[in-house]
Structure 1
């Protein structure tokens, strides 16, 4: 079976998008997703995105990290999908229904309402999620936020010097996080600007993470470090995050289509 795909990215966070809204595909499995994502023997990407029909929204978006694991949300993929769809839409995800709107070569995405309860992150046991009494070497007292997927945010003097490639996987797999966790290290540069690096659960270091930007901005706002709308600068570029008084997060930023192609499904099955 020959399957078409669209290669897209948001600030360098790249995706293989499979559009099964009109014609179905064989069942996606973790092993197939990981094989497609492999940068040496597959197409190569941070996440495989599968679009399907939905009974509750305009369509459904499923997200598979490069290790094959299916996850709840991906902000950069949401903007890419909005660009591909070409119109405002409601999108069902495992993390909840979001709304996307193409805009200026990218998109704005209503990411919904963040959650802060320890059991909503989730954590293995109860604790304050605003200033967590935990540490991993120089990284200490983070904030935990669930924005459709779980994040922990560390505020540091210089995010560029943190050994995130070493500490990221250690924190991701710590027993404190029973569903693992995305790890963010952030430096507040001003009341309206944050510098951020992210270790993504199941994907590792990526050039950008939309949900990480949302989680980090909200964490900084909860601590009174920034205004209710900020720019978040990532290695791949900048996103604008706003947290409205009604509690909903809006993420705005670019997305792009790189190229289109096709593959034989049985080559990866």
Structure 2
């Protein structure tokens, strides 16, 4: 059985998209996701995206990280899927229903409302999530929040001095975070500008993370580090524009691209 795929990326955060909306695909588990994501023996990607039919939305999007773990949300993939779908849509995810709409060479995504409760993120025990009394070497007093996925956000004066490739996996797997955590380290560089590096749960260092950019912008707004309720977040792959509306909902706008299309033998990856 040969299965078609579309390779896409949002600011260098890359995806293999399988479309099972019209015709169902065989069950996909962690082993298949890992095999397809492998950059040496598979197609190669940060996340595997599976589109399925849905009863209460236009379609459903499932997201598997490169380590095979299924996660709740992916902002960059949402933009890519909007571009692939070619029209505004309501998309069901494990993190809730979002709305997407193509916009120019990318898309705008309504990411929903951020969650700040310690048990909803979740953390292992109660604490102030706005200024957590914890530290990992020079990274201290972060904010934790959930935007589809759990995030912990640190702000520093010099991003280049943070060894995120070493501290990222330590923080991601700390017992404080029962579901592991996405690690964001940001530096405010202007009244509405933030430079961000990302250690993504199950994927490692990535060039961009849409939900992480949203989490970082919201954290900076809550802390009064930027002016107003809009900010541009600059990631290694490029910028994303984030708005946090008075109604509490987050809007994210940015580019996405199709890289190429192909097909693979399902039996070799099952």
Q: TM-score range by the shorter chain?
A: over 0.9
Q: Alignment RMSD, CA only? A: 0.5
Question: Matches of residues 99-248 of structure 1 in structure 2 within 5 Å?
Answer: 99-226=99-226, 227-248=228-249
The 8 Å contact of residues 78 and 100 in structure 1, kept in 2 or not, is answered as: yes
Give yes or no for the alignment of 1:80 onto 2:87.
Answer: no
Shift of 1:146: 0.2
Unmatched segments (≥5 aa) in structure 1: none
Unmatched segments (≥5 aa) in structure 2: none
TM-score, normalised with respect to structure 2? 0.99
The 8 Å contact of residues 10 and 80 in structure 1, kept in 2 or not, is answered as: yes
Moved over 4 A (4+): none
TM-score, normalised with respect to structure 1? 0.99
Question: Matches of residues 25-64 of structure 1 in structure 2 within 5 Å?
Answer: 25-64=25-64
Q: In 2, distance between residues paired with 1:184 and 1:160? A: 13
Count of matched residue positions in the alignment of Structure 1 and Structure 2: 269
The 8 Å contact of residues 160 and 197 in structure 1, kept in 2 or not, is answered as: no
Q: In 1, distance between residues paired with 2:116 and 2:242? A: 18
Deviation string 1:42-94 (CA, Å, 9 cap, x unpaired) is 00000000000011100000000000000000000000000000000000000
- Alignment-derived partner of residue 252 in structure 2: 251
Q: In 2, distance between residues paired with 1:122 and 1:191? A: 31
Q: In 1, distance between residues paired with 2:61 and 2:261? A: 19
Shift of 1:160: 2.4
Deviation string 1:204-260 (CA, Å, 9 cap, x unpaired) is 000000000000000000001112100000000000000000000000000000000
Deviation string 1:161-199 (CA, Å, 9 cap, x unpaired) is 211110000000000000000000000011110000000
The 8 Å contact of residues 193 and 233 in structure 1, kept in 2 or not, is answered as: yes
Deviation string 1:76-125 (CA, Å, 9 cap, x unpaired) is 00000000000000000000000001001000000000000000110000
